[in-house]
Structure 1
Amino acid sequence: MSEPQIVWLRRDLRLADQAAFHCAAQAGPVIPVYVLDDETPGDRRMGAASRWYLHHALEALAKDLHRHDMQLVLRRGRAVDVLCQLAEETGAKTVHALRHYEPWWRNAEEELSGRLDLCLHDGNYLLPPGTVTTGSGSPYKIFTPFKNAVFAAIDSFDILPEPKLSAPDSWPKSDTLTEWNLLPAKPDWAGGMRDFWTAGSAAAMERFDAFIEVIGDYKEDREKPSLDGSSKMSPHLHFGEVSPRQLWQQIAQHRSDGARFFKAELVWRDYAQNLALQFPAYGETPYRDGYDQSFWRNPNRGHRIEEDLKAWQQGRTGYPIVDAGMRQLWQTGWMHNRVRMIAASFLIKHLLIDWRHGERWLWDTLVDADYASNATNWQWVSGTGVDSNMFVRIMAPLSQSEKFDAGDYIRQHVPELADIDDPYIHDPEAHGCKPAGYPAKIIGHKEGRERALEAYRAMKG
């Protein structure tokens, strides 16, 4: 029998359209391994909500492998050291993996390639990050020309089928998922997530098949929180249970505005990764100058500012649309896309709190917390990014709530307001119908707006 091939899994937990599995299967018996590595990412170790999802994603992948009479090997520790140890145990000399572009994984790949034969493959994005360039060969910084270039470059994709896998003579020792304690126990705060998500490639495609039925209305319906026409594919894409190429190919024949808009959302995901490749510290460092610590109200410098941050995190700002979004996030590990922008803008501009505090909160509470996408979205809202909204464009959460018919969404996630009718539910305090158990606004809209604009003028002046 030929030499065993290790497949190193990270955020690529699928068999179809997975080039690492495909190439490893052609070379010999395959040993799929997932390493729970909390050391290599440093302070970017996976957050609590993502760890919950990871447990179920690995469980689903193990079942898919079992259909091929295969096992999923689980190990814990520093990935490079663990993989080298596994190679020594099994006699494997080659590791196959999909490329990852987070700075810590790029460093790990470079180190591993000096110790073992590392075969890296593409597959987590529509096109390999760094390959879509301007006419002069430089990387794009602005989204619209990047999007146009991607659309021009893609005709269709050849999707790799599930490979025919062969097992090694003997399986190396493996941890069990329960030993990793990825699921919350005391207390068990994941009930809402269990109701909202089903992990795995089969569940991802089932969800997408249902979405395709209404994709023609996607452009309009995704903006309305109460209707929620979102695809909800982001966790499945983040953990690689499905590839973006598979989704693109599934809707290749759909010519509606909704289908094209969804494709543009897939391209935004590529765009975010291309920015993180150009600027590895994008999740920590503003691209634009001037937004230093003196610009922001720092929660570490005052009790009132710390309380404002906590009120935002806990969904008790007195702004129903913001509070509904933050409570949906805590309950389900996900937030409606329009509400994400409103909630982020409120933290950054109404409360004048550094976007990085919000990014870190979502890193821990989103099941789809993604370094590149999170950073790109937060820097877009804050006005600090490469291609971003202007800081002086301040979203009005009360009028946004009414404009996008968020009444039923608020009733679902803020039960104190469940009995209030439209239009009063968007601002019950102003209409004199705020229930006693619901907080007053922590800052008025006009007051927050003027404070943000004054800070901006001072920074520019």
Structure 2
Amino acid sequence: MARTSASPAIVWFRDDLRLSDHPALHAAAASGAPVICVHVFDPARARPLGGAARWWLAQSLRALQQQLNLAGASLVLRRGSADKIIAELARQTAAGAVFWNDIAHLPDQVISDQLAAALGETGVRSHRFPGDLLVAPRDIRNKDGRGLRVFTPFWRRLQSLGDPPKPLPAPRTLRKVAGLASDDLESLGLEPKRPDWAGGLREAWKPGEHSGQQRLKEFLDGGVAGYASGRDRPDQKGTSRLSPHLRFGEVSPRQVWHAARFAAAERPALTGDIDKFLSELGWREFCRHLLFDQPDLAGRNLQSAFDNFQWRQDDNALRAWHRGQTGYPIVDAGMRELWHTGTMHNRVRMVAASFLVKHLLIDWREGEKWFWDTLVDADPGSNPANWQWVAGSGADAAPYFRVFNPILQGEKFDPDGNYVRRWVPELAQLRASLIHQPWRATPLELASAGVALGLSYPAPIVDHRKGRERALKAYENLRTR
């Protein structure tokens, strides 16, 4: 097919499943050309999505299809290697240009470069835009040209650059290219069938751009009040719950930034809470910049000294941690919440992660892999960076001697035991003073609460004091070596 002035433009959707503040879609629509919107699912990508994230992707693609239909377009789905499929689609449709938002991660950039090269050979123009970060990683460097590895100076530098560009509006209408075949969403195999383990995910979440925008609005309208302190309480609704919407680009970081800044200007009393909220957005950005500098962040210690750390191999303990059967109620509640809903409260994530790598001395990569498979918001930057932070091997890492006490953490941040009661119902009848350490209850107290330690609920798989001492010794040995 020959290209003409009416040749269509292809928009390649990646981790940016939205219509608003989508630079590539905005530019393609402004060109006046008919638009072909395409998403390519590549099961052989550098790091395949985990099960929970695959489920979210399926729902988000459905939502995107509906949004595009309302704007007059449609979504073409394909399965395979994105660069080859899109280059072939451009050839078949005589497209004049392909538009997409880049991802600041080396494997994704390689695919982008390969696509741009293939298009260039056939005379098809490539238009690439930044779209997944507030600031390009190359704009925040130290004097040696390297990225920053401590969050506070990174955050100060980012803020000193001023506000990011204002979000772009969604196109009002799009000109559709008729007659294009699309793979069925079901054929991509994203959702579990037998068994269907996603019931809890469906109860907890509604993916899609509209839901993400609504969630952002509701949070800034009321939920952000008290965020600075309330975000640490898993027994309360004190967090934004925006992370999976950000992960799949249903909401962009600069949409969050500008909405938050507007809310702070409208209600100055909330400035402290909103600043804390924005710093969490900054931490996501920090992790993505780390990923830019170290693409294998999920497999390699940022601090090479940890390459010699003597991790333990303990399959039984790892399995108990997976299943929320460690005998420490706050840890078990978090692991069960994760399995059921595809998420875990951030404070509890730190406690559960610390328990695995310090009390059990199991390699942080084992925990990172489990979270990657079970989190709906499993982010290629944040997930490994946070695990390395807890382990002490990462950037701006927690000091090696910081070992979270799961008992004290539970008593401090779930003081009435309501979070544990929800996710560890076998302990629900214990009073608050005992629920985070049921082994201190008398036989009569256990019996009256219907708890049989070692039967209905496990005894601790490791003694806290001994586990802490073992961890400190292992970390000290690493330092002396």
The TM-score bracket by the shorter chain reads over 0.9
What secondary structure sits across from 2:78 in the alignment? strand
Q: Equivalent of 2:203, from 189, 195, 199?
A: 195
Q: Give the whole-Å Cα distance in 2 for the aligned partners of 1:365 and 1:283.
A: 15
Displacement of 1:169 after TM fit?
Answer: 4.1
Contact 2:223-2:239 at 8 Å conserved across structures: no
Displacement of 1:131 after TM fit?
Answer: 1.5
Whether 1:447 aligns to 2:466 is yes
Displacement of 1:85 after TM fit?
Answer: 1.5
Q: Equivalent of 1:267, from 282, 289, 298?
A: 282
- Which residue of structure 2 lines up, in the alignment, with residue 152 of structure 1? 160
Q: Give the whole-Å Cα distance in 1 for the aligned partners of 2:184 and 2:177.
A: 21
Displacement of 1:80 after TM fit?
Answer: 1.1
Return closer, same or farther for 1:135/1:288 CA change in 2, 3 Å cut-off: closer
Displacement of 1:392 after TM fit?
Answer: 1.6
Contact 1:29-1:165 at 8 Å conserved across structures: no
Displacement of 1:135 after TM fit?
Answer: 6.1
Q: Give the whole-Å Cα distance in 1 for the aligned partners of 2:88 and 2:163.
A: 43
- Which residue of structure 2 lines up, in the alignment, with residue 422 of structure 1? 432
Q: Give the whole-Å Cα distance in 1 for the aligned partners of 2:55 and 2:282.
A: 27
Contact 1:379-1:385 at 8 Å conserved across structures: yes
Q: Equivalent of 2:242, from 233, 236, 241?
A: 233
Q: Give the whole-Å Cα distance in 1 for the aligned partners of 2:291 and 2:304.
A: 18
What secondary structure sits across from 1:33 in the alignment? strand
- Which residue of structure 2 lines up, in the alignment, with residue 20 of structure 1? 24
Displacement of 1:165 after TM fit?
Answer: 4.2
Contact 2:309-2:478 at 8 Å conserved across structures: no
Displacement of 1:185 after TM fit?
Answer: 1.6
Q: Give the whole-Å Cα distance in 2 for the aligned partners of 1:388 and 1:11.
A: 28
What secondary structure sits across from 1:292 in the alignment? helix
Displacement of 1:138 after TM fit?
Answer: 4.3
Contact 2:308-2:478 at 8 Å conserved across structures: no
Whether 1:174 aligns to 2:182 is yes
Deviations, residues 230-266 of structure 1 (Å, cap 9, x unaligned) = 1000000000001111111112131421100011011
Whether 1:438 aligns to 2:457 is yes
Displacement of 1:93 after TM fit?
Answer: 4.1
What secondary structure sits across from 2:227 in the alignment? helix
Displacement of 1:134 after TM fit?
Answer: 4.0
Displacement of 1:291 after TM fit?
Answer: 2.1
Contact 2:212-2:251 at 8 Å conserved across structures: yes
Q: Which amino acid counterpart does residue 5 of structure 1 have in structure 2?
A: A
- Which residue of structure 1 lines up, in the alignment, with residue 69 of structure 2? 66
Deviations, residues 102-160 of structure 1 (Å, cap 9, x unaligned) = 33211111211211133210121122232123467543221101101112222364221
Displacement of 1:207 after TM fit?
Answer: 1.3
Query: How many residues in Structure 1 have an aligned counterpart in Structure 2?
Result: 453
Q: Which amino acid counterpart does residue 311 of structure 2 have in structure 1?
A: W
Gaps of 5+ in 1: 299-304
Root-mean-square deviation (CA), in Å? Answer: 1.5
Displacement of 1:10 after TM fit?
Answer: 1.2
Q: Give the whole-Å Cα distance in 2 for the aligned partners of 1:155 and 1:280.
A: 27
Q: Give the whole-Å Cα distance in 2 for the aligned partners of 1:171 and 1:236.
A: 31
Q: Which amino acid counterpart does residue 325 of structure 1 have in structure 2?
A: G
Deviations, residues 153-208 of structure 1 (Å, cap 9, x unaligned) = 22364221012443344342101112223221211111111111001111111112
Contact 1:13-1:239 at 8 Å conserved across structures: yes
- Which residue of structure 1 lines up, in the alignment, with residue 122 of structure 2? none
Whether 1:280 aligns to 2:295 is yes
What secondary structure sits across from 1:344 in the alignment? helix
Displacement of 1:87 after TM fit?
Answer: 1.1
Whether 1:39 aligns to 2:44 is yes
Contact 1:15-1:163 at 8 Å conserved across structures: yes
- Which residue of structure 1 lines up, in the alignment, with residue 8 of structure 2? 4
- Which residue of structure 2 lines up, in the alignment, with residue 325 of structure 1? 334
Matches within 5 A, 1:123-162: 123-134=131-142, 138-155=146-163, 157-162=165-170
Contact 1:80-1:112 at 8 Å conserved across structures: yes
Contact 1:32-1:72 at 8 Å conserved across structures: yes
Deviations, residues 380-411 of structure 1 (Å, cap 9, x unaligned) = 11000121111221110110100112510010
Deviations, residues 417-455 of structure 1 (Å, cap 9, x unaligned) = 111110100110122435340011000001111111111
- Which residue of structure 2 lines up, in the alignment, with residue 257 of structure 1? 272
Q: Which amino acid counterpart does residue 80 of structure 1 have in structure 2?
A: D
Q: Give the whole-Å Cα distance in 2 for the aligned partners of 1:94 and 1:314.
A: 49
Q: Which amino acid counterpart does residue 381 of structure 1 have in structure 2?
A: V
Whether 1:336 aligns to 2:345 is yes
- Which residue of structure 2 lines up, in the alignment, with residue 460 of structure 1? 479
Contact 1:134-1:140 at 8 Å conserved across structures: yes
Q: Which amino acid counterpart does residue 439 of structure 1 have in structure 2?
A: P
Q: Which amino acid counterpart does residue 99 of structure 2 have in structure 1?
A: H
Displacement of 1:293 after TM fit?
Answer: 6.1
What secondary structure sits across from 1:352 in the alignment? coil
- Greater Cα shift, 11-20 or 287-296: 287-296
Contact 2:40-2:77 at 8 Å conserved across structures: yes
Displacement of 1:352 after TM fit?
Answer: 0.1
What secondary structure sits across from 2:225 in the alignment? helix
Q: Percent identity?
A: 42
- Which residue of structure 2 lines up, in the alignment, with residue 302 of structure 1? none
- Greater Cα shift, 217-226 or 179-188: 179-188
Large movers: runs of 4+ above 6 Å: none
Q: Give the whole-Å Cα distance in 2 for the aligned partners of 1:295 and 1:118.
A: 48
What secondary structure sits across from 1:159 in the alignment? coil
- Which residue of structure 2 lines up, in the alignment, with residue 292 of structure 1? 307
Q: Give the whole-Å Cα distance in 2 for the aligned partners of 1:344 and 1:230.
A: 19
- Which residue of structure 2 lines up, in the alignment, with residue 383 of structure 1? 392
What secondary structure sits across from 2:17 in the alignment? coil
Displacement of 1:88 after TM fit?
Answer: 1.4
- Greater Cα shift, 375-384 or 160-169: 160-169
